[in-house]
A and B are shown apart, each in its own frame.
Chain A
Amino acid sequence: KAGVTQTPRYLIKTRGQQVTLSCSPISGHRSVSWYQQTPGQGLQFLFEYFSETQRNKGNFPGRFSGRQFSNSRSEMNVSTLELGDSALYLCASVAGGLAFFGQGTRLTVV
């Protein structure tokens, strides 16, 4: 059974640009959560999607958005990038209360 796949693995962007990250959950899982990991703030919840609907969002500005497609794949978008957005972005495929994490996307904003 394939795990959670995140693409790309690494990304370098310039301040002010926007970026889109992708996450394919484990087959059959309908819930996808996103987390941001930084040295200063640790692991923080971004948002959660289920059946193409965003059910919950963490305490992040509106520049952070996402969506989920009918095949449960999810994307998150960050617009007008700031240096502080540099982080490891982790996607979790959730079922039965268990979260399985992808390899993450390392975003560097310069």
Chain B
Amino acid sequence: ELKVEQNPLFLSMQEGKNYTIYCNYSTTSDRLYWYRQDPGKSLESLFVLLSNGAVKQEGRLMASLDTKARLSTLHITAAVHDLSATYFCAEPSTLIQGAQKLVFGQGTRLTINP
């Protein structure tokens, strides 16, 4: 059974600081997804990392993938309040008949204080 683990699960930080969320996954999957979820809302796709060494950046967020270490990171630079949300990483699991399901981490609840 695939397992995806994130840490930390809760993160409270001040505006302007940098921090990293870690996502460890259990297989040799060559892709990894990051989603953002605001309270009571759905999942918003942030990044799709498709190969080893992939790095993607959007604003103050940067995600990377190391398939050999089975590790993805989401780095937050100079945090601002608007980035407060829960962040999930997810690993695709190929099922029968070519279907895929996403196996999600527990989520990291990020709170950014002024």
Contacts and interface: CB of A to CB of B under 8 A. Distances in A.
B11 to A, nearest CB: 17
B99 A43 contact: no
Given A42-B107, A90-B42, A103-B42, A97 B100 contact: yes
A100 B44 CA distance: 8
Interface string A99-110: 111111010000
Nearest to A45: B101
B94 to A, nearest CB: 10
Interface in B85-112: 88, 90, 92, 95-97, 99-107
Contacts of B35: 101
Contacts, number: 56
A21 B82 CA distance: 31
Contact of B100 (A35, A94, A106): A94
Interface string B33-60: 1010000111111001000000000000
Interface in A43-57: 43, 45, 48, 50, 55-56
A22 interface: no
- Could you say which interface size class chain A belongs to? 20 to 34
A16 interface: no
- Could you say which interface size class chain B belongs to? 20 to 34
Interface string A77-107: 0000000000000101010011111111010
B87 to A, nearest CB: 12
Contact of A31 (B92, B99, B104): B99
B95 A101 contact: no
A7 B100 CA distance: 24
A43 B87 CA distance: 12
B96 A55 contact: yes
Interface of A: 31, 33, 35, 42-43, 45, 48, 50, 55-56, 58, 90, 92, 94, 97-104, 106
Given A42-B106, A101-B43, 5 more contacts: A43-B107, A48-B99, A94-B100, A102-B42, A104-B42
